[in-house]
Amino acid sequence: MKLARIAAISGILGAISVGVGPRAAHAFCAMLPLHPAVMTTRSTALPADGGILVSYTAGKEDEGEPETTDPSETPTWRAFDGAGHALKYDAVSLAPGLRVLVPAAGTGAITIKGKRDNVIGTFTRDSKAAPVALAAPKPATLRVEVSLGAHGSMELRGQITLAVSPPADAVAVITYQIIGSTKQTVGASWLPATHDKLKTWELGRAGGHCHHGPDGVPMPGTQVTFAYVDAFGRLSPQSKPITVAELKPAPSAP
């Protein structure tokens, strides 16, 4: 699966409409189950300070993976070394709908298998890879439009503008909401394929009114900060906080 396909699954190109939490479907929406999906595909040589990035995609009921509260959870996935021996890994949640699987230390190959013993991905290790060096995001503004969607659901459309384009190695941006002295992850948004040449784009996940997974769009008036994540689940430092502004909807034509 190439990066372009990742963007097709979870991308944020174009004007999209996203909501807070699971949303009631329109009559014509196929509410397919959400299942974990590997996003470490551009390079499968894992650095010492990284792991296997997992998000989610919509699938069929018969794919064998159970639905979970967080669709990036991997309760049935197992890891094996090159000799076929079971290998432990830690599943570290980065945000709703995004986590990184960190295999036990070693030097050999890694195979991830699903519930039906199907191979989900194969990986090697790169002990000479440089440590993560993502710069912190430099957000200028985040404006969010609030509207009512189908069945009275709340829909949020976010537009983020940065002072500096994201680094090429970043694949997603995580939004954190500041509540008192704590920070709570709101969600993660996949970056457009040309993100290193952009400074403004829509924040959230593709899917419009049919989307029912975790979102990365906060309410206007809240304070937020951001961090980039690369294809191996490695995080940048967090940005300086900004306050979310309200984006007024365009007036309807007479």
H or E, element range at 8? helix 3-10
> Looking at 105, 126, 147, which one is the last position of a domain?
126
Q: Is the pLDDT of residue 187 over 70?
A: yes
Residue where one domain finishes, among candidates 126, 148, 172: 126
Output the domain CATH number for residue 227.
Answer: 2.60.40
Cα–Cα dist 200/222, whole Å: 20
Parent domain of 121: 3-14+32-126
What does the pLDDT read at residue 32? 72
Asked if residue 118 and residue 10 are part of one domain, the reply reads: yes
The number of domains in the chain is 2
Residue 7 CA from chain centroid, whole number: 11
Strand partners, 203: 158
Is 133 part of any domain?
A: no
Counting every residue, how long is the chain? 254
- What is the reported pTM? 0.80
Domain for residue 58, yes or no? yes
52 with 159, same domain: the answer is: no
Rounded Cα–Cα distance for residues 32 and 9 (Å):
13
What tens digit of pLDDT does each residue of 20-73 get? 333 333 344 556 778 889 999 888 999 999 999 999 887 665 455 666 788 899
